[in-house]
């Protein structure tokens, strides 16, 4: 049995057309997905709501050709699900959603997510609309998208569009686990000096943030590469402070250690130098042997990625690598902060 469904597919930042809009049926995008289980049409259905520059966009196609930048904030996706369980359709008609209707909604979510990321992949990479990004939501949060952001609806037997219902027992939104803390009172007090001094975040923090973004996009390769570079930056900046503290020397002597470490990393490799840092802070670091082994494996994975452009990294492995690297960097920061204070800002170049 077939069922017609519809969503409004918004984009975080507008996609851009040139000289035309996919409004007439002849210009709709027609797709067949999941081996014919779903037939999909993608088009612009309501220019008043879906265009960012609606005030000056003409209706006439010939006049529209002269508009080289047409910003579109969303597209309409109509779906014909061709193999729907009769019980699911009956439950929708009776306004009594069941596990079968919810399973259908989850599969529709997966189909629409593929379409969204396919559109973004083309517009971003082929059309060079670099401001677009794919979605990588936790599947447990699918209700947030299909119900609230996309407004999933279905066509009933009377030809009326109805909001897709969900069982009450499933109404609670399941949030993805958030590992990051927000800005508390102490961190908020750092914001003022950061802005006034024109300061910059330490390179290791910038790289770790980049790495976390890559993880959110399921790009294990880049996540590992940037996190290991963050480790290298941390080792070069923080390990000299560890050595100074061990030797009882002042900050001036440390200025000469950074170039030495840089040369040593180039000659011996990152892991042997990192291992020295492990031994120096081990007793007070709180690190486990598993942390240390994972840091070493992350460095090896980065080495393999660099030498093999086709080398992929499983996203779960990448998360483990990034977590271990963050713990080790954090241990270096905590160890040095006992005498120097954690350097949360980098001064701008003079």
Convert the pLDDT of each residue in 91-135 to its tens digit. Answer: 999 999 998 999 999 999 999 999 999 999 999 989 999 899 888
**Separation between Cα atoms, residue 84 and residue 284, nearest integer Å:** 60
Main-chain phi, psi angles of 329, to 5 degrees? -60, -45
Mean pLDDT along residues 293-298 = 94
Instruction: Say what the pLDDT of residue 166 is.
Output: 83
Residues 328 and 297 in one domain: yes
Is residue 86 domain-shared with residue 209, that is, in the same domain? no
Q: Which helix (H) or strand (E) holds 79?
A: strand 70-81
What is the C-alpha separation between 97 and 335, in angstroms, rounded? Answer: 56
Q: Looking at residues 223-251, what average pLDDT do you find?
A: 84
Residues 292-316 as b/e (b if ≥16 CB within 10 A, e otherwise) read bebbbbbbebbeebeeeeeeebebe
Same domain for 13 and 154, yes or no, is yes
Residue 346 lies in a domain: no
Top mean pLDDT of 58-67, 132-141, 150-159, 302-311 is at 150-159
Reply yes or no on whether the pLDDT at 81 is more than 80. yes
- Count other Cβ atoms within 10 Å, centred on residue 286: 13
Does the pLDDT of residue 339 top 60, yes or no?
Answer: no
Residue 201 falls inside a structural domain = yes
- pTM of the predicted model as reported, rounded to 2 decimal places: 0.52
How many domains is the chain built from? 2
In a domain, 347, yes or no: no
Q: Establish if 213 belongs to a structural domain.
A: yes
d(CA 93, CA 89): 6
Verify that 14 and 139 share a domain, yes or no: yes
**Quick check: is 177 in a domain?**
no
Q: Is position 348 within any domain?
A: no
Q: Do 63 and 162 sit in the same domain of this protein?
A: yes
Q: How confident is the model at residue 139 (pLDDT cuts 50, 70, 90)?
A: confident
- Mean pLDDT, residues 326-331: 91
**Is there a single domain that holds both residue 62 and residue 202?**
no
Range of the structural domain that residue 319 is part of: 185-340
- What is the overall mean pLDDT for the chain? 84
Residues 157, 278, single domain; the answer is no
When pLDDT is cut at 50, 70 and 90, the band that residue 223 belongs to is very high
Claim to verify: residue 161 and residue 215 sit in the same structural domain: no
The token duo for 299 is 């460095």
Looking at 170, 196, 227, which one is the last position of a domain?
Answer: 170
Residue 178, pLDDT above cutoff 50: no
**What would the 3-class secondary structure string for 134-198 be?**
CCCCCHHHHHHHHHHHCCCEEECCCCCEEECCCCHHHCCCCCCCCCCCCCCHHHHHHHHHHHHCC
Residues 33 and 117 in one domain: yes
Do 155 and 5 contact (CB within 8 A), yes or no? yes
> Which pLDDT value is given to residue 350?
39
206 and 73 belong to one structural domain: no
- pLDDT at position 342, please? 40
- Asked if residue 318 has pLDDT above 70, the reply is yes
Mean pLDDT of all residues in 301-317: 89
Q: Is the pLDDT of residue 302 over 50?
A: yes
Higher pLDDT: 96 or 69? It is 96
In a domain, 336, yes or no: yes
Pick the last residue of a domain from 170, 193, 219. Answer: 170
Residues 190 and 164 in one domain: no
CATH of the domain at 262: 1.20.120
């Amino acid at each position: 049995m077939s069922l017609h469904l519809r969503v409004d597919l918004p984009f975080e930042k507008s996609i851009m057309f040139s000289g035309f809009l996919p409004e007439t049926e002849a210009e709709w995008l027609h797709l067949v997905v999941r081996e014919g289980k779903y037939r999909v049409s993608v088009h612009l259905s309501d220019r008043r709501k879906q265009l960012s520059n609606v005030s000056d966009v003409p209706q006439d196609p010939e006049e529209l050709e002269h508009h080289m930048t047409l910003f579109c904030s969303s597209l309409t996706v109509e779906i014909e699900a061709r193999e729907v369980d009769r019980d699911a359709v009956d439950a929708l008609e009776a306004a009594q959603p069941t596990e079968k209707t919810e399973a259908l909604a989850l599969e529709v979510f997966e189909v629409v997510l593929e379409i969204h990321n396919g559109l973004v992949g083309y517009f971003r990479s082929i059309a060079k609309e670099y401001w677009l990004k794919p979605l990588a939501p936790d599947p447990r949060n699918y209700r947030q998208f299909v119900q609230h952001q996309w407004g999933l609806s279905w066509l009933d037997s009377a030809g009326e569009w109805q909001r897709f219902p969900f069982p009450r027992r499933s109404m609670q939104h399941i949030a993805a686990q958030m590992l990051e803390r927000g800005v508390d009172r102490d961190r908020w007090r750092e914001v003022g000096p950061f802005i006034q001094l024109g300061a910059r975040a330490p390179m290791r923090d910038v790289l770790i943030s980049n790495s976390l973004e890559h993880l959110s996009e399921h790009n294990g390769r880049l996540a590992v590469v940037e996190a290991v570079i963050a480790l290298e930056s941390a080792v070069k900046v923080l390990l000299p402070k560890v050595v100074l503290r061990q030797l009882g020397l002042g900050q001036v002597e440390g200025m000469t250690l950074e170039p030495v470490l840089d040369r040593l990393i180039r000659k011996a490799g990152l892991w042997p130098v990192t291992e020295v840092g492990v031994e120096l802070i081990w007793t007070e670091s709180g690190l486990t042997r598993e942390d240390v082994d994972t840091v070493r494996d992350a460095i090896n994975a980065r080495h393999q990625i660099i030498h093999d452009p086709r080398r992929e990294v499983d996203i779960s492995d990448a998360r483990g690598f990034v977590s271990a690297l963050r713990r080790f960097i954090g241990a270096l920061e905590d160890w040095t902060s006992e005498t120097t204070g954690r350097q949360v800002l980098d001064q701008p170049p003079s």
